[in-house]
Amino acid sequence: MRRFSVAVLVAAAVGSVLTAAPARAAEPFANCTATACHFDVPPGSYDVKVVLGDDAASSTSIAGETRRALLPETSVPAGERIARSFTVDVRTPEGEPTGAEGTPGLDLRLGGAAPALAGIKVTPARHARRIFLVGDSTVCDQPGDPYSGWGQQLPQYLRKGLSVANHADSGESTVSYLADARLWATVRPLIRRGDLVLIQLAHNDKTTDEATYRTNLETLVAGVREKGGEPVLVTPIVRRWFNSDGTLNNGTALLVNGLGVDHPAVIRSVAAARDVPLIDLTAKTKALVESLGVEGSKALYLYDEKRDNTHTSVHGATVYASLVREELVSRHLVPEGQVRVG
């Protein structure tokens, strides 16, 4: 049975003093039901503190905006309370930049086996560092089940003080991302000094020649640095296409396009030449998919649901997001204390 008894703390106006009030009295700034909360706030970064627990044992996860995983399922023993915090990006459109605008304000949804929210507080994040994501459909906030991009699952691995601004968009190549005013021309002005910008574009560069692809990556890197941000190049996740010997196909699976352009190799080359941190997600996902084998790797993708060997399931996106988290820490891009484990 779902349980819900919550004191909501909200700002009557952004930047004002916070006061406690019952959920129904906090409208229009907050409105909570048994399974969700809505906060009528403008775009920006917000710190969210939740208190979880009830008289009975509970298990609660929290998602927000366009199906973003913000807090992994957290168990609390009967009669106890625990506090958890995270930082969330609120914007319009709330999901894919070329998609539907979504609902204004901040929307949070409770999930888990037995969700129990005892309290919640939302405040403007004054000093949050942002991780911008520039990518395609394998990264973006997918609007509907069963799809999920790894960027959609990454926020649950981050603690308060780090937010994920996922500007990845389905169908985009390096060419289209630079050309569309809703994409790079919108993202670049938002970048502040110290922000990370993770760039994973390759899946849709099927007709991009090597010189153009390299130049486009260099343009993205330069644009981030000009704004004071830190670019991070990310090689693409593999496609699930096997050879008869159980290894992944060197062309389709490992992102070599019809012109013979080896996208991961070019990304590695640009990273080395421009002294850009590299997350070699191609190598990481290749090793994982091959270790799981033809059958075991199906669950990472949408093979059973859609016969899709490119796009990931929620499970696969979550696993791949954990690989990104590990790389962020191991490459000292994010302090270990600002990530969640498990």
How high is the pLDDT of residue 24? 35
Same domain? 89 vs 135: no
Number of domains in the chain: 2
Q: Would you tell me how many other CB atoms lie within 10 Å of the CB of residue 43?
A: 13
Q: pLDDT (tens digit, 9 = 90+) per residue, 70-123?
A: 999 999 999 999 999 999 999 999 999 999 999 999 999 999 999 999 999 999
The parent domain of residue 209 ranges over 129-338
Same domain? 110 vs 203: no
Same domain? 34 vs 88: yes
pLDDT at 342 over 80: no
- DSSP label of 262: B
Same domain? 107 vs 157: no
Same domain? 98 vs 223: no
Torsion angle, alpha carbons of 282, 145, 322, 328, to 10: 70
Same domain? 194 vs 100: no
Same domain? 167 vs 209: yes
| Residue at a domain's end among 68, 93, 124 | 124
For 244-264, what is the mean pLDDT? 96
pTM of the model: 0.92
Same domain? 67 vs 157: no
Structure tokens at 57: 């044992």
Same domain? 325 vs 258: yes
User: Could you tell me the CATH number of the domain that includes residue 327?
Assistant: 3.40.50.1110
Q: pLDDT (tens digit, 9 = 90+) per residue, 285-299?
A: 999 999 999 999 999
- What is the pLDDT confidence band of residue 127, given thresholds at 50, 70 and 90? confident
Share of the chain above pLDDT 70, in %: 91
The candidate with the shortest Cα–Cα distance to 297, out of 242, 221, 338, is: 242
| Residue at a domain's end among 124, 158, 173 | 124
User: Could you tell me the CATH number of the domain that includes residue 33?
Assistant: 2.60.120
pLDDT at 11 over 80: no
How high is the pLDDT of residue 139? 98
pLDDT at 1 over 50: no
For 303-307, what is the mean pLDDT? 96
284-293 contacts at long range (C-beta below 8 A, 24 or more positions apart): 284/323, 284/327, 285/237, 285/238, 285/320, 285/323, 286/238, 286/248, 286/253, 286/254, 288/319, 288/323, 289/238, 289/240, 289/248, 290/246, 290/247, 290/248, 293/246
How high is the pLDDT of residue 9? 52
Same domain? 101 vs 14: yes
Same domain? 215 vs 182: yes
| Residue at a domain's end among 124, 145, 163 | 124
